[in-house]
């Protein structure tokens, strides 16, 4: 099977099936010397694992991670980092009644047509459990970014038609509810709505928003390897994601150029160094930053409709992306479908399933955004000769 590897320098390869012995990831290209322990990774996996509330599947997995290679005495060695999470609560018999049935909204039909057979136990590689490896790898990327002053934070923006109020936005509030919504009022309404969905044996979708702060200007390539294009690929590779936005997203299609363009202003930082007025040293780094009349300055945007990128390259503003998740396809109410042999029938899917994917997907979006940002940061290190010369002491 192709397509299980993502990244250019910071490469991640996930492996394993939903009901196999275990699931995991290999992370290659992580610089040596990064402090890393299993506890650093576990805190991210705990946000994704099942059984956290009545709004998530009752499958009881501890999702305990083990570092198999790539770390010595608490620091990365620069060699591939192998991570494993053992599956401990498989109930493959829950899927016995659908082994020859194509479940509506799932990848059963397409997987079967592509490979000629499929792992019907929860979807195999197509299962949401595959994201365990992504989150484990994302934890490493987040720690790498943090060492550079870059943070990545995702949260639930909406559940169904219930959306957070930007005026009531409090990021820390997301830790006070199991829906990870940074708006207490919206979270209460969303919980009531989900209880209604459960009573109706149905499910719903929602939107996850993610913000990357501290990304320097100049990350991303201007053609096929755009920062926003890579973020889109990373986010859309998550199962159940059906839409991606950056900045104003689809709202930009209804805007005017005069309102959608982000203006530029000069932000003066630092202290004057004694230069006399009118005597400029004009020290600039070729990226809109420099020093004039002894005072440091930088170019910043007066708004952020673009969502932190221009021409596929980071512009120094917050990178703001959104992922739209479809309703959980596994629902208990009757649905019409067909079998592999062409028989039509109605099915009711048994087993343990989330009435909504979004809360557990928040950390998955965060992980994929972090992996993309970290990878393109490393790629961008070779963009300019003067910086390469400076790195090797040849400038």
List, as residue ranges, the binding site. Answer: 48, 54, 125-127, 311, 326-330, 352
CB 100 within 8 A of CB 339: yes
Which H or E run includes 86?
strand 81-86
Residues with Cβ < 8 Å from 392, sequence gap 6 or more? none
Q: At what angle do helices 38-48 and 358-380 cross, to 10 degrees?
A: 140
List, as residue ranges, the binding site for FMN. Answer: 125-127, 311, 326-330, 352
Bridge-based pairing state of the strands 65-69 and 81-86: antiparallel
Q: Rounded to 5 degrees, what are φ and ψ at 354?
A: -80, 135
Residues with Cβ < 8 Å from 203, sequence gap 6 or more? 197, 327, 328, 329, 330, 331, 353, 354, 355, 356
List, as residue ranges, the binding site for NADP(+). Answer: 48, 54
Residue 163: DSSP 8-state: E
Give the end-to-end CA distance of the chain in Å, rounded to a whole number: 46
Cα distance between residue 44 and residue 268, in whole Å: 38
Q: Helix, strand, or coil here: 187?
A: helix
């Amino acid at each position: 099977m192709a397509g299980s590897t993502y990244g250019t320098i910071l490469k991640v390869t996930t492996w394993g099936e939903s009901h196999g012995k275990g699931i995991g990831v290999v992370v290659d290209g992580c610089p040596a010397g990064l402090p890393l322990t299993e506890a650093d990774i576990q805190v991210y996996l705990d946000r994704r694992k099942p059984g956290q509330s009545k709004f998530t599947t009752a499958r009881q997995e501890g999702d305990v991670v083990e570092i198999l290679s790539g770390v010595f005495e608490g620091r990365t060695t620069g060699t591939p980092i192998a991570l494993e999470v053992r599956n401990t609560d498989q109930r493959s018999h829950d899927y016995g009644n659908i082994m020859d049935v194509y479940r509506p909204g799932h990848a059963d039909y397409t997987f079967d047509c592509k490979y000629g057979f499929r792992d019907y136990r929860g979807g195999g590689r197509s299962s949401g459990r595959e994201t365990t490896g992504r989150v484990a790898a994302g934890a490493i990327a987040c720690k790498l970014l943090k060492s550079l002053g870059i943070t990545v934070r995702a949260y639930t923006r909406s559940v169904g038609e219930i959306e957070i109020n930007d005026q009531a936005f409090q990021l820390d509030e997301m830790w006070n509810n199991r829906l990870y919504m940074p708006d207490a009022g919206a979270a209460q309404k969303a919980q009531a709505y989900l209880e209604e969905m459960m009573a109706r044996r149905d499910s719903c979708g929602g939107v996850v928003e993610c913000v990357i702060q501290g990304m320097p200007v100049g990350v991303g390539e201007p053609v096929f390897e755009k920062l926003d294009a890579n973020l889109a690929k990373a986010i859309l590779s998550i199962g159940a994601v059906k839409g991606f936005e950056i900045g104003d997203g689809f709202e930009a299609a209804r805007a005017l150029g005069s309102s959608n363009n982000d203006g530029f202003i000069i932000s003066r930082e630092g202290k004057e160094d004694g230069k006399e007025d009118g005597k400029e040293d004009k020290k600039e780094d070729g990226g809109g930053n420099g020093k004039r009349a002894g005072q440091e300055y930088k170019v910043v945007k007066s708004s952020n409709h673009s969502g932190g990128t221009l021409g596929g390259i980071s512009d120094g503003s917050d990178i703001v992306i959104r992922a739209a998740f479809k309703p959980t396809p596994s629902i208990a109410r009757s649905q019409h479908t067909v079998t592999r042999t062409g028989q039509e029938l109605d099915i009711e899917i048994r087993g343990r399933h989330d009435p909504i994917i979004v809360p557990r997907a928040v950390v998955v979006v965060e992980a994929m955004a972090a992996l993309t940002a970290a990878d393109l940061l490393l790629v961008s290190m070779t963009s300019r000769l003067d910086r390469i010369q400076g790195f090797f002491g040849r400038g």
